[in-house]
Amino acid sequence: MNKKWLCYTGFVFFIFALASCADIELLKKQEEAGRLVGEAYMSQNDYTAALNELLKAERTYTKDPHLHNDLGLVYMAKDQLLLAIEHFIKAVELKPDYAPARNNLGTAYLAMKNWDSAIICFKEVSKDLLYATPHYPLTNLGWAYYNKKEFALAEQFYREALKIDPNYPIALRGLGLTYLAIGKPRDAVNFFEKAAKYSRFPELFHDLAGTYAILKEYNKAVLFYRKVIDIAPESQLAVEARKEIARIQKEHLK
């Protein structure tokens, strides 16, 4: 074969390769622009608009792990957990060291009450020495083991989380729930009280009220049930709180 022809065909192939790379880079830039618009909508809690932009970006370029992580978060916000899990898995497959996506995958498994799959994810994340908030996966491990009724392991992971951030209210509450489950309400109330110094959410005050009722400190129980009502007056917890206040006042505070 003519050497000139070989050189020519090689040159043509090189040109096509350059063009192909340029096309891919253009698609990446278009996808990234769409993803950023989607993330802007996410920051405004407009998940429908965010999903629309992210799906358009996915049609442009499908191999961006950050895009799949965003899609997973939007589907979680829209309570579409199976779709969320699908995209978090894609994100991790594309970037195995993508710890936030793996942590989000574990969180989706928690929401599905798939405790064992969640534990696998969070253990992987907790091994990542570069992960910026290691107390999050440790706390999630505590919650998974708590729901499996493996309370010794739940306590272990909650305490590991609190070594990193002693004031993290989710871990403090989790440890309180663990002590309540093993019959230590006085220890439980101490951790609930500490959590209440750093966060105000109705579930925590409901826990405090119920634990004070167990300890027969009824005035404190009523106080915290009333806080539940103040914070979330239309919630199911508020309905339960009103019933408990009426019961305590009738039976114990005559």
Whether 95 is covered by a domain: the verdict is yes
Question: Which CATH number does the domain housing residue 38 bear?
Answer: 1.25.40.10
29 — pLDDT class (breaks 50, 70, 90): confident
Tell me, what's the pLDDT at 20? Answer: 52
| pTM for the whole structure | 0.86
Q: Which has more confidence, 71 or 21? A: 71
Does 174 score more than 60 pLDDT?
yes
pLDDT tens digits for 83-109?
999 999 999 999 999 999 999 999 999
| Number of domains making up the chain | 1
Across the chain, mean pLDDT equals 90
Tell me, what's the pLDDT at 111? Answer: 97
- Domain carrying residue 94: 1-121
pLDDT tens digits for 132-155?
999 999 999 999 999 999 999 999
Whether 27 is covered by a domain: the verdict is yes
60 — pLDDT class (breaks 50, 70, 90): confident
Whether 170 is covered by a domain: the verdict is no
The predicted model gives 224-238 an average pLDDT of 96
Whether 82 is covered by a domain: the verdict is yes
Whether 36 is covered by a domain: the verdict is yes
The predicted model gives 198-209 an average pLDDT of 95
Whether 239 is covered by a domain: the verdict is no
Q: What is the SS3 string spanning the chain?
A: CCHHHHHHHHHHHHHHHHHHHHHHHHHHHHHHHHHHHHHHHHHCCCHHHHHHHHHHHHHHCCCCHHHHHHHHHHHHHCCCHHHHHHHHHHHHHHCCCCHHHHHHHHHHHHHCCCHHHHHHHHHHHHCCCCCCCCHHHHHHHHHHHHHCCCHHHHHHHHHHHHHHCCCCHHHHHHHHHHHHHCCCHHHHHHHHHHHHCCCCCHHHHHHHHHHHHHCCCHHHHHHHHHHHHHHCCCCHHHHHHHHHHHHHHHHCCC
Whether 227 is covered by a domain: the verdict is no
Tell me, what's the pLDDT at 5? Answer: 41
With a pLDDT cut of 90, the percent of the chain lying above it is: 78
Whether 197 is covered by a domain: the verdict is no
Does 3 score more than 80 pLDDT?
no
